[in-house]
Structure formats: C-alpha cells, structure tokens
Structure 1
C-alpha cells in the first residue's frame, strides 16, 4: 500500500481488502460445501434408487423403469437394459463417467456375481452449480461495493476529530499567548492525546520564542552601547591631526568593522521580527543605499587594484527597508571584493533590482546550489570567514519576498542578481513564484 495516500483512503482500502478476503473465503466455503453436499446426496440417492429397483423387480423378467434423467443397465440384460463393454468394466461404487459424450454419475453394484449400473445425468446438477456460482459472484461484488461505501463512511467518522484538529492548527495562530488550548475540546482518546501533546509542544515553543525575544532585545541593548563607544572613539582619534598614517588606517579599519557590526546587529533584530511588524520608518531608495555602499566598498575594491564599475542610470525611486537592503548589498559587495584578485567588480542598479558581478575565482557548478547554505564557502583557503554572508542574504530575501539568483560568468567570476519587492503602506508586494 502506498503510504503517500491519505489516512482516509488507507482506511477505506484496508476495510475493502478485509471485506474482500472475508467474502472470498465465505464464497469459496459456500461453493465447496454445496459441491460436497450435492455429491454426497447424489451418492445416497443413486444408491437408494438402485436398491429400490433391485427390490421391486424380478431379475429374470425386468419391467420397472428408472427416472427420466436416469439410465439402468443389467449385466446380461436385453434391449435397453443391455450393458455395454464400458459399463461392464466399471468398478463397484459411486463414480463419474462419460457415456455417449455426456457426463453421468454412476452407481455400480454387484449382486450374486451379476453387475447392475444406474446412471444419472449431471446436467441438472451442473445448472444448479452454475446458478450458485453466479449468485456467489454477484454477492461477492455487492459485498465489495458495500464495504467501500461503509469504509468511506466509517473513515469519515473516525477521521473527523483528526481533520478538525488539523483545521484548528492550520487556521489559528497557536503561537500567540492568547490562543486557547486544544485538548479540552476532545475526548480522552488517541486524538485527545495528540491534541494534548500538541498543546505541550506549543507551550515549550512559546517559552523558547519568549526567551529568544528577551535574548535578542538584551543583546541588542548591550551591544549597541560598546559599539557607540567604539564609533565615537574612532571619530575622536581620526580628528587628531597628529595621528600617523598607519594608525589612521588601523582606526579606519576599526571604525568600519564597528559599523558593520552595528548593521549586522540591526539586521538580526529585523529578522527576529515578523514581517507585518516592520514599518517603513527606515525606508530609503535603492540608489541611496547603493551610493553609501559604493563609498565604502568602492574605495576598498580600488585599493586592492581592481576596477570598480557603478551604473545607477536605471535605478527606481521605490522605498525599501534600509537595514536589510544595506546588509544584502554589502554582503554581496564584500563577497566580490574578497574573492576577486584581478579584473573588476560591477554594481548595476535596475528597476527594482540590482546586480553584483565580478571576475573573481568563480563558484564551481557542483557548489552553486549549496552556496546559500550556512558555513559553505567558495574557497576554504581564503580568509577567516565562516561562510555565513550568503546564508544571511538568502534569509533576508526569503523574509522580504525578494529573489536572489547566482549565475556563473565565463571564463570566470560570478553574477548575483537580486529582484526586490516594493514596500507599499507597510506591506511587501512580492514577485510571483517562478
């Protein structure tokens, strides 16, 4: 049985198979019993008929005739009673023979050295057996049809509480604290146990989510303070005219790292919230985010000896979430900067989309589908990254209903295309599923 079938269908199938097995055994039992009874009755009636014939007539002058469906023969008889060679060779007792092309039951008796044979035509018995067989087949088919109907009714009745529980789970937000428990609505049976287990699991899940929210808020509060201290300290150090060039570069690196950490904290806080809880108070256009990212990553890319191309001619003026868009674009530019040693990096803005492409080492075909998984890196020997950047990009795009696509460039390099869904009145208008 295919386990992919619904539980209702499996119950109906099992019920029908069980009914078919019982009806089949019952039908075979009826046919076998009737056949044995008919044979036994035929043996008894033939034996009794033969003995009555022998008792009613004189052996030397036979005058009694058997029934119409019977034939009587006597060894040494004359005319219709004359026994053929085939009949004379029959052993005594009950048996089935073929006589003149027809099937007969034969009862053979030997008295005082003389053999007597009484034959009965099987046609009437065969007609009764055929009629019985037709009745049994019709009864078997009707029993299967009845089993299907009763099985469906029974399955619906049995599955009604399970279907009700599934609908309650599907159509109610059980994760909110005000959601009532499910198990009081059900009897103390298996379905009630399932509802109770579901309530207990949801209770633990609510506690876990509550702890996660508290942890997220605490971490965000505790991290923002030292990050602000780092940022302000870097500003004070950079304002010092006597700071050496080497020290200035190190302070800039610290300031950039603290700013990236601040953006990362804000991104994780955003991802911890539900999409409907996000407003557009931190919204900005695609070009505004790109200009800010170009100011940071364009300088680093050029310092590495690469050509940086920025094309913003076709950028739309639609609003997007500032924090999340910064994180997506920044991670893709960082990825291009990190894995490109020669050539160029290009950022192209389009109508509700942008493209980041490079001439770097590229991504092998067998790793393309795994690059958006956590802890997966294109080249394990480069840098100290953990391979979480593209995973974070995928999480943000999934939450915002954006689409990110990775394609390989020839002869080397890769291209990331991000299709953005525009925010309208706090709601995200997504793209249709491909």
Structure 2
C-alpha cells in the first residue's frame, strides 16, 4: 500500500530513522566493547589471583582469598572445598562455568600433576551489565525522542518558506495582472527557484486566461449580429398576413430558439467572466416552465425516432424559480444526450420538489466509466459519429457554478438516469 506523507512528516521520519540507526549502532558498540573489555580484564584478574595463590610460601595460606566472590580449589583437597568432578573436567585456561543456576568465571591451571581452579561469581558483573543496559536503553530512547523533537522544529523552519509560497500561489489575487512576483520575496535557493518557476507558470496562465476572455467576448459579440438578424426576420415573418398556421408555428419555434441562444450566449459570457463565482441572476423560471418549453422542442425528434417520451410533472414545483438559461441548458443537454444514445424504448422526464431526473432505455454507461463522463471530450459510445463529448461536461460546470448537483446511475436492464438536485440556497419564490 502506497502511504503518502507530507514533506514535513518525511523530514521528521528521516531524522528519527537516522537517530535510531546511529543510537542503535552506538548502543551495540558500547555493549559489545564493555563485554569484551570485561572479559579481558576478568581473564587478567583471575589469572593474577590464581598465580598469587600458587606462589604462597605456605600451603595453608591458600585459604586466603583476595576477593570475597572467589573460590579456590585444588585436586588434592587443599582449598575451600574438595574439587568436584565437574571442576576436574574443565580445560586449562579462562572460561565461563555454570554450577546449577549460578554462572562463574573459571581460571584453570595445571602444575605438574596437580590441577588448580579459581572461580569468580558473575552476579556482580551481571548486575553492572543490567545497569549498563538500562542506561544505554534510556539513552537510546531519549536520543530518538530528541531527534523527533529536533526534526519537527527543523522541519517547521525548513518548510516555512515552502508553506508561505504555497499560500501565495493559492491566493486568488495571484492570477491578477497587477499581482507582485513571488521570487522577489525569497533567497536564491531551491525555494527561490521554485518561486521563479511559479512566476513563469502563472504568467503563462494569466496570458491564457486573457486570451480566453478575449475569445469569449469576441464570440459573444460576433454571435449577437446573426442572432439579431434571426430575431428580426422572425418578427417580420410573423407580421406577414398570408403566413399559414403551420408556417407561423415553425417561425415561432425559430424565434424562441433564437431568444434562447441569445440568452445562452450572455450566460456563458458571464460564466467565463465570473471565473468560478456564481453568475449574476438574470431571467428566472420554474422547473415546470423550462420543462414545458423543452417538451415542445424535443417531443417531435424523440417520437420521430420511434421512442416514447414520458413527462411526469410535480405539483408545487412551479413556485420555485431558478436561473432560466442555465436550467434550460442543463435539462436540454440531458434530453439531447438521452435522445442521442437511445434507439428504442422510452425517455422519461420526471420533476420532483428538489429538481428533476432524465431516464432513458439506451445503451447505458459502464460503471467504471460513469465518473469520466462528466469530463470534457469523453463520450459514451465512440462508434456514434455525432457529438464532441462536451454536453455532460457543460452540465457539470453549470451545476457546480450554481450550487446544484448532478448524479448518474445505471438502470436495469439498460439505460441511464441523470438526477439533478437544485439547492434551496439558490431558489427563490416566484
């Protein structure tokens, strides 16, 4: 499992691991050195004591022991006590020797045919070793805790300029043209190099945003003229007295579509200019009004395809109003998506007190691809030639801007259901 830590945590972890390694090496080295030195000194001390015992002028002086924790044995019975069989089997020289649960250091020497053994009790050494081990363990723990504390302090100081730089980059004003450069506040080190890279990147981003604003403004300006021509032509055609009823109905549909296009152009221009903030409130309409408008637009093409179009209204939904162009764009794109990917069955538009849903019996969208469907240029069925994969992305952007939510679920045995929830914070009584 890939566990991700912040840079500050990584610095603390590195300090702790490094100190643990160094303290562990020192602790093992101290213990090993003490053990080796102790064994060496004990060998020299026991050998010297045994030699002094053997050089006494009188045999009865052998009972005199320089150390209280030492026992002297001789195989002829002279000594502390008679030599037992386990002592007789010891090899000459220094060695460790166990008698029951007690551990001794033993120095064995043979002079002629006689064997002499000097034993020293290890309990005093074991006690000193336990104290040493305790001191080393406490020092090891304290060194690790001190390393963690120092690591946190140093990490905070090291990460302070990085955190400050991150805050400056996240600040909204940094995208403005008059925003000061970041690199001037930092030294010419790695953080300064990072700040200069951010300055260059933010500069390119400002230029891209500027070009996007100019593009949306140009598109809006250039589309107004043909839309105005369409609207004026529709008005003139509607005033023509010899226009039959069928033609008049078609002209009225063209006029409504032109007005809707003009509102969408204005709305999209506002969305681009607000840079993610809520778009200003313009023309408002209820879900029922928008649904009935779109029924007139989509009923004919849906039924011409041999698909049943079902509309389920909701009582009380007409009391709440929303941004009409944006709501019309969301609902219209979902209906267009359902019409495009459904070849038989039915499409159902259902209103509810909190929003609406669009269900279809089309080809459906696999579970693993549902989240990606709201990304730009992602299409449900790549084999279908029409569409650029921008409709659902536009729906997602409008919902995010207005505080609405859109979810996608699968239907059985096939098809999709898009549910849009319109937040109460964006609603007002009509």
Q: Same fold (TM over 0.5)?
A: yes
Conserved 8 A contact 1:345-1:356: yes
> For the residues of structure 1 that align with 2:116 and 2:312, how far apart are their CA atoms?
119
Conserved 8 A contact 2:270-2:280: no
Structure 1 residue 231, shift from structure 2 partner: 5.7
Equivalent residue, structure 2, for 1:155: 155
| 3-state secondary structure, aligned to 1:316 | helix
Equivalent residue, structure 1, for 2:216: 216
Conserved 8 A contact 2:294-2:332: yes
* 390-399 vs 360-369, greater mean Cα deviation: 360-369
C-alpha distance 123-369 of structure 1, shift in aligned 2 (>3 A): closer
Conserved 8 A contact 1:56-1:64: no
Conserved 8 A contact 1:407-1:416: yes
Describe the superposition over 1:354-394 as per-residue Cα deviations: whole angstroms up to 9, x where unpaired.
Answer: 34445x53525546555434444455565633343233222
> For the residues of structure 1 that align with 2:385 and 2:109, how far apart are their CA atoms?
109
Describe the superposition over 1:317-340 as per-residue Cα deviations: whole angstroms up to 9, x where unpaired.
Answer: 444333322222222333444455
Conserved 8 A contact 2:373-2:380: yes
Equivalent residue, structure 1, for 2:364: 363
* 35-44 vs 162-171, greater mean Cα deviation: 162-171
TM-score, normalised via structure 1 length: 0.80
C-alpha distance 277-176 of structure 1, shift in aligned 2 (>3 A): farther
Conserved 8 A contact 1:24-1:140: yes
C-alpha distance 374-63 of structure 1, shift in aligned 2 (>3 A): closer
Aligned ranges for residues 70-81 of structure 1 at < 5 Å? Answer: 70-78=70-78, 80=80
Equivalent residue, structure 1, for 2:122: 122
> For the residues of structure 2 that align with 1:82 and 1:335, how far apart are their CA atoms?
107
- Unpaired runs of 5+ residues, structure 1, are none
Equivalent residue, structure 1, for 2:65: 66
* 284-293 vs 23-32, greater mean Cα deviation: 284-293
C-alpha distance 98-381 of structure 1, shift in aligned 2 (>3 A): closer
> For the residues of structure 2 that align with 1:344 and 1:88, how far apart are their CA atoms?
105
* 146-155 vs 22-31, greater mean Cα deviation: 146-155
Describe the superposition over 1:52-103 as per-residue Cα deviations: whole angstroms up to 9, x where unpaired.
Answer: 22333245x6555123222223343546464444434433222222347632
> For the residues of structure 1 that align with 2:100 and 2:334, how far apart are their CA atoms?
99
Equivalent residue, structure 2, for 1:26: 26
Conserved 8 A contact 1:316-1:350: no
Equivalent residue, structure 1, for 2:388: 386
Structure 1 residue 207, shift from structure 2 partner: 0.9
Count matched residues: 424
Conserved 8 A contact 1:354-1:419: yes
> For the residues of structure 2 that align with 1:345 and 1:218, how far apart are their CA atoms?
37
TM-score, normalised via structure 2 length: 0.81
Across the aligned residues of Structure 1 and Structure 2, the Cα RMSD in angstroms comes to: 4.0
Aligned ranges for residues 187-206 of structure 1 at < 5 Å? Answer: 187-206=187-206
C-alpha distance 69-406 of structure 1, shift in aligned 2 (>3 A): closer
